[in-house]
Every structure is written in structure tokens, then in C-alpha cells.
Structure 1
Amino acid sequence: MPHDDRVYLEHIRDAILRVEQYTEGIDQSEFKRQILIQDGVIRQIEIIGEAVKRLSSSYCSSHPDTPWQDIARMRDKLIHGYFGVDIEKVWLTVKDDLPPLKAEVLSSLSAA
């Protein structure tokens, strides 16, 4: 694995771990009430999306089951659509999308 890919995967891993820390022990209704937690989670998802954009095309091609373009697009929507952020979609991303991404990233890092 190229050095750069490893660095970006580490950034993704670290951002996911922060999201897990920020959302530990809260449910969706609490997440909707906690603007500070929302802001922290959104920032980490932006970091994940930016790191994904920098992964090599060979890495992304070798992991076709991961929706790399969707992850990058979500980052763009969060960065450029700050007045229209769908907090429910952010929560679903945290609960449904980040766990398999974390597993993929951890697997890649341990194999390198």
C-alpha cells in the first residue's frame, strides 16, 4: 500500500473513532438536541470525505464494495450546504455507514 493511502486511511480511522466517542451513549433524539455534538460529528465526516478524495484510484478500485464517491459527495454537501444539512441523514450515516467503513479501513491498515 502506498504511504499516502496509509496516512489517509489513518485519518479516516481516527475520524471514525472520534465520531464514536462523540455519539457514545446517545440516541437519535439526543443527537438532534445536541448541536455541539452535531458540529463535531459533521466535522469528522468532512475529514473522512476529504481523506477519501485523496486515496489513490488503485486503492479505491481494489475495494469496490465501499461507496467512495458517495462518501466524497456527502463531504461536499456538508461543506457547501451548511444551511441545509439533514441531521437525520448525518445520524443514519453514523449508525449505518461508518461501521462497515471502519471495518474496511481497519482491515486495510492491519494488512499493510
Structure 2
Amino acid sequence: MTANRLTDYIAQMREAAVKANGFVSDMSYDEFIADERTQMAVGMTLVLVGDAAARIMQHYPDFAVEHPEIPWNKIKGMRNVVVHDYYKLDLPVVFETVRKALPDLVLQLNALHHWRPQGE
């Protein structure tokens, strides 16, 4: 695995999180609950964030350990719920995650944006 793949995964996580935020930025909770299309779009972005996080954890475990500020296991867990138990999704939790946790994640990922492996 090259370091470029790591930076790609970080960028993928950030891009999907930003999209999720954009999908609900002008929505109230009630509007989100009534909008199945947005729910599904947000679900897909959570899958994308979680897939990239899982790849980082698998292929770059030291990096994940070095950055405990990012809740890698929770992100991967959310992805697994969306993929495997979509019809049991707790929509209030999804909305809260997108509105509150993802903006923080984007800031954390922005801080990693200029990360380079030692020696580069």
C-alpha cells in the first residue's frame, strides 16, 4: 500500500462527510424524517465514510492508532448498521450524526489533509 492510497481514503471520507452535511444543511429534523430520498442519500454517504475508514484501519492500522481523535470504530460501526440493518436505522441518530458529528469529523480530516508520511 502506498501513502497515496492513505491520502485518497482520507479525501474520500472528507468528501462523503461534506456531501452528507450538504444533503441536510437546510433541513429540519421533521423534513429529514419525511424525506426518504435524503435519508437514502445520507445513508450512502455514511457507507462511503465508513468504507474509507475501514480501509485505513485495515491497511494503515498504525495511522489509525496515531489519530485516536477520529472515532474509527464508531465510523465503521455506523457503516455496518447502514449496510446490514438499513431498515432498522435509528433516523434520529443518523440526523444527529450528520448535523453534529460529521462537521467535527470534517475538521479533523482537514487537519490531516496535509499529512505526509515520514521521508516524503
TM-score category by the smaller chain? over 0.9
4+ residue stretches of structure 1 with deviation over 4 A?
Answer: none
Q: Determine if contact 2:21/2:99 at 8 Å carries over to the other structure.
A: no
Tell me the residue number matched to 1:85.
89
Task: Confirm or deny that 1:109 pairs with 2:113.
Answer: yes
Q: Distance in 1 between matches of 2:35 and 2:94?
A: 13
Q: Secondary structure at the match of 1:110?
A: coil
What is the root-mean-square deviation of aligned Cα atoms in Å? 1.3
Unpaired stretches in structure 2, ≥5 consecutive residues:
none
Tell me the residue number matched to 1:32.
33
Instruction: Work out the number of aligned pairs and report it.
Output: 112
Structure 2 residue identity aligned to 1:30: E
Matches of residues 22-61 of structure 1 in structure 2 within 5 Å? Answer: 22-55=23-56, 56-61=60-65
Q: Secondary structure at the match of 1:26?
A: coil
What are the superposed Cα offsets for residues 25-67 of structure 1, whole Å, 9 maximum, x if unpaired?
Answer: 1111111111101100010001100000011112111111221
Tell me the residue number matched to 1:20.
21
TM-score, normalised to structure 2, is 0.88
Identity, % of aligned positions:
23
Structure 1 residue identity aligned to 2:71: P
Larger radius of gyration: 2
Q: Distance in 2 between matches of 1:23 and 1:92?
A: 11
TM-score, normalised to structure 1, is 0.93
* Residue 110 of structure 1: how far off its partner (Å): 2.9
* Residue 83 of structure 1: how far off its partner (Å): 1.8
